Chains A and B, each alone.
Chain A
């Protein structure tokens, strides 16, 4: 029997790797992939807690996270396409029109 905190450690590691990618990469597609990594890290934690608490609510929440991740990927990639069409770049540090 694998102890619960191993799963939560795995979840924290995946979340941190996603956080690192989101904060350091300048390619907006890799940044979206990092968001997906963070969501997956959270999902692992939710399913593990749901299994160890013998309660299905965590798994229902995971389904909602997957649905929201799909919506977010669709919208985000549409924004990437619009951005690339107007500015010919996917680098976030070159998009600074809205800087006050």
Chain B
């Protein structure tokens, strides 16, 4: 049963990713990406990561994709749809990606890890997932968390500086 769910999610994720990459119209690509993000959130739910599933939908589907759609709307790319959509050397790119795929799939056959950490499913569901994740985030990873907030601040300021019009003096 769980395997069936996984196979459904995996097929949908791979199909949507391929549609994102080969689609001609950027708006269609963004909408396929939206479907793909919802299925990735489903995979997170299968892996008992409820908080990350919610974050995936809120941040990726709710914020990042809306940003992409806004930019596509601002740019008004009408001639984009009729023009050639791949670069000249695309077979080389296909070969590199396929080579990476084959090497990584073959190297992962039968790969397993030992459950060494303290956070078993029972422990996480006793503490609740958000609290457990927050506990790790705000103690062991406090400094990286602060650095992430700094990165987001730089992104806000940088986006404003890059996108605003130069003032003619």
Size of chain A's interface in residues, with CB distance under 8 A?
A: 74
Are B21 and A37 in contact, with the CB atoms below 8 A?
A: yes
Asked if B56 contacts A57 (CB within 8 A), the reply is: no
Q: Which single residue of chain A is at the shortest CB-CB distance from B6? A: A2
Cβ of A33 within 8 Å of any chain B Cβ, yes or no, is yes
Distance of B154 from chain A, by nearest CB (Å): 7
Within 8 A of A (CB), among B76-108: 77, 80, 83-88, 90, 92-94, 96-98, 100-101, 104-105, 108
Q: Which residues of A contact B108 (CB under 8 A)?
A: 5, 8-9, 12
Q: A16-B98, A49-B113 are in contact. Are A62 and B68 (CB under 8 A)?
A: no
Residues from chain B with a CB closer than 8 A to the CB of A26 are: 84-87
**In the complex the two chains form, what is the Cα distance from A29 to B30 in whole Å?**
9
Q: A9-B108, A43-B40, A48-B47 are in contact. Are A60 and B21 (CB under 8 A)?
A: no
A76 to chain B, nearest CB (A): 9
Chain A 8-47, CB within 8 Å of chain B: the 1/0 string? 1110111111111111111101101110110010011001
How many chain B residues sit at the interface, stated as a range, is 35 or more
Inter-chain contact count A-B, CB under 8 Å?
245
A95 proximal to B (CB < 8 A): no
Interface membership of B14, Cβ < 8 A = yes
A84: which B residues are within 8 A, CB to CB?
75
Contact of A90 among B44, B80, B140, B156 (CB under 8 A): B80
Q: Does B18 contact A (CB under 8 A)?
A: yes
User: Is B30 a contact of A33 with CB atoms below 8 Å?
Assistant: yes
- Mostly, the B contact residues are helix
Residue pair B47, A47 in contact (C-beta under 8 Å)? yes
Q: Is the pair B14, A17 in contact by a Cβ cutoff of 8 Å?
A: yes
- Cα separation A84 to B79 with both chains bound (whole Å): 13
B104 lies within 8 A of A12 (CB): yes
Whether A59 and B49, one on each chain, are in contact in the complex, defined by CB atoms closer than 8 angstroms, is yes
Check A36 against B110 for contact (C-beta < 8 Å): no
Pick the contact of B74: A1, A32, A54, A81 (CB < 8 A): A81
Q: Which of A40, A54, A64 contacts B148 (CB 8 A)?
A: A64
Separation of A69 and B68 alpha carbons in the complex (Å): 13
Across the interface, B14 reaches (CB within 8 A) one of A13, A51, A57, A82, namely A13
- B21 with A2: CB separation less than 8 A: no
- A74 to B117, Cβ gap below 8 A? no
Closest 9 A/B residue pairs (Cβ): A55-B117, A23-B93, A71-B155, A21-B21, A20-B97, A78-B162, A16-B101, A24-B90, A24-B93
